[in-house]
Amino acid sequence: MGSLPNPPSSPGLNNDTLLIAIPHPPDPNWIATQASRHPGLKIRWYETERTLGTPPKPLPTDTFDGVTLVCTNWPQLIPPFANPNIRFIQLSSAGADRWVDHPLYKDQNVMFCNASGVHARLLHLPVHDSPGLRAGILGYGAIGRHVARLVSALGMEVYAYTLRPRPTPESRRDNRTYLVPGTGDPDGVIPVKWFHGEEKESLKRFLEEGFDLLVLSLPLTKATESLLSTEQFDILATKGKGKTFIVNVGRGKLIDTQALLEAVRGGKIAGAALDVTDPEPLPEGHELLREERVFVTPHVSWHALEYLDYVNAALQYQPNIYRQFLNIVMDYKNQRLGMLGAIHQVSDFYVMYPVLIQGLIAFFLPELHIACDEEIAENAVSVTGTRQFKEKKYP
């Protein structure tokens, strides 16, 4: 393989046989180079199986006939006393701990060399440290809030984008029915700046902040389809100076795929990590799969062994809210509660569980739907956090 080192030219190798036993196919170019440097050196390449951490079976004994030099990774490949003529072993790993009990390792006449320095070169690549970098999060729900928690722990500044305005501390809190303990941003205090809106101009102002990392964690609707397209990538190219890296864990259609490809190839963005794509799944040989700066996973970021535990925990909370809401419905239907009283009680739930209650209102109290929306929007929470209601007469 191309990364194998070139041994120094020495007449002492011309009568040797080198056995390369590694889980990679023979590299003709490397072999040709060694043949020209050491005309008498015989090279025997044995492609071993990839065992993913499990020791492989020993190679056949006759593999070592005449071998004096070995390059390999597992001591189990070499049967004890396979060949008394072996005098040099080059490890393909930096550590030699696997070899300490092998007879050849204890033999004072056998020289061992590790691969120290081969792996370190990855650390020499220029990288940016995270403190002070900017992370924009499109969709500040449960996922977005937990992303904020993680990147802020690495020193990044977080900018949040939501559909509705969140001007007060109360409005920025996470009022979902169930939160996984120890996750997210329950009080909404991590972002250094909040943005909102469903118009292109609102999104433009957000993107103009110039992000190093842009995470999409919002649902797919008619309004969010192709949310990032050529126009938005042009903004990122200018304000983000081509260094923005995009992560999409929402839905594939949030991003215009062709525009994304053009942005990556044109240097408008640094790259992308996509757990969701459009189309999904990607057909074999799709252009996204061939881009070096695009990393694709098959929609598995949701998956954890504890996933069902979280769902079951959430189910412990939801029925309670559901039952209490049904009590309001029954009181209203049986005229034990007037419209204004029903709106007041529903509003209390709405502040804590907006998405759930919106759905329940639309289904059970369609005649109150518009009135509730209007009342809640205008009066449910004041700047000080106290609920205030105007006296209104409803038909």
Same domain, 291 and 373: no
The tally of CA atoms less than 13 A away on the side-chain side of residue 378 is 12
**Integer distance in angstroms from the first to the last C-alpha of the chain?**
82
Same domain, 22 and 114: yes
For residue 332, the domain's CATH number is 1.20.1160
Same domain, 282 and 145: yes
Number of residues in the chain:
395
Is residue 389 included in any domain, yes or no?
no
Same domain, 140 and 280: yes
Kindly report the pTM of this predicted structure. 0.57
The pLDDT assigned to 118 comes to: 64
The residue written with tokens 């996750």 in the block is 183
Q: At what angle do helices 230-239 and 257-265 cross, to 10 degrees?
A: 30
Rounded to 10 degrees, what is the CA torsion of 49, 40, 1, 81?
A: 30
Domain boundary among 296, 326, 354: 296
The residue written with tokens 């126009």 in the block is 231
Starting from the edge strand earliest in sequence, which strands make up the sheet with 17-22, in order? 42-47, 17-22, 69-72, 88-91, 111-113
Domain boundary among 245, 273, 296: 296
Of 78, 122, 70, 119, the C-alpha closest to 98 is 78
The pLDDT assigned to 55 comes to: 81
* Three-state SS letters, the chain: CCCCCCCCCCHHHCCCEEEEEECCCCCHHHHHHHHHHCCCCEEEEEECCCCCCCCCCCCCHHHHCCCCEEEECCHHHCCCCCCCCCCEEEECCCCCHHHCCCHHHHCCCCEEECCCCCCHHHHHCCCCCCCCCEEEEECCCHHHHHHHHHHHHCCCEEEEEECCCCCCCCCCCCCCCCCCCCCCCCCCCCCCEEEECCCHHHHHHHHCCCCCEEEECCCCCCCCCCCECHHHHHHHHHHCCCCCEEEECCCHHHECHHHHHHHHHCCCCCEEEECCCCCCCCCCCCHHHHCCCEEECCCCCCCCCCHHHHHHHHHHHHHHHHHHHHHHHHHHHCCCCCHHHHHHHHHHHHHHCHHHHHHHHHHHCHHHHHHHHHHHHHHCCCCCCCCCCCCCCCC
130 token code pair: 């995270």
Q: How far is residue 80 from each of residues 23, 65, 232, measured CA to CA in Å?
A: 21, 14, 64
For 258, phi and psi rounded to 5 degrees? -65, -40
For residue 292, the domain's CATH number is 3.40.50.720
Is residue 241 included in any domain, yes or no?
yes
User: pLDDT of the chain along its 395 residues, tens only?
Assistant: 444 555 545 556 878 999 999 888 999 998 999 888 888 899 999 998 877 667 888 898 888 999 999 999 889 998 877 678 899 999 988 788 888 888 888 888 899 998 876 665 555 566 778 999 999 999 998 899 999 999 999 999 999 999 999 999 999 998 776 788 899 999 999 999 999 998 999 999 999 999 999 999 998 888 899 999 999 999 999 999 999 999 999 999 999 999 999 999 999 999 999 999 999 999 999 999 999 999 999 988 887 787 667 766 765 666 666 677 778 888 888 888 887 777 777 766 655 555 556 656 666 666 655 444 444 444 333 222 333 333 333 33
For 352, phi and psi rounded to 5 degrees? -90, -35
Question: Which residues are designated catalytic?
Answer: 251, 280, 299
Same domain, 185 and 220: yes
Is residue 367 included in any domain, yes or no?
yes
Same domain, 342 and 367: yes
Same domain, 190 and 222: yes
Same domain, 222 and 178: yes
110 token code pair: 């056998």
Same domain, 204 and 155: yes
The tally of CA atoms less than 13 A away on the side-chain side of residue 241 is 2
Is residue 395 included in any domain, yes or no?
no
Domain count, the chain: 3
The pLDDT assigned to 68 comes to: 92
Same domain, 54 and 146: no
Domain boundary among 262, 296, 330: 296
The residue written with tokens 């040989």 in the block is 285
Domain containing 156: what range?
134-296
Same domain, 285 and 174: yes
Is residue 326 included in any domain, yes or no?
yes
Beta bridge partners of 157: 134
Is residue 301 included in any domain, yes or no?
no
Is residue 4 included in any domain, yes or no?
no
The pLDDT assigned to 4 comes to: 56
Cβ–Cβ < 8 Å for 41, 16: yes
Is residue 91 included in any domain, yes or no?
yes
Same domain, 111 and 140: no
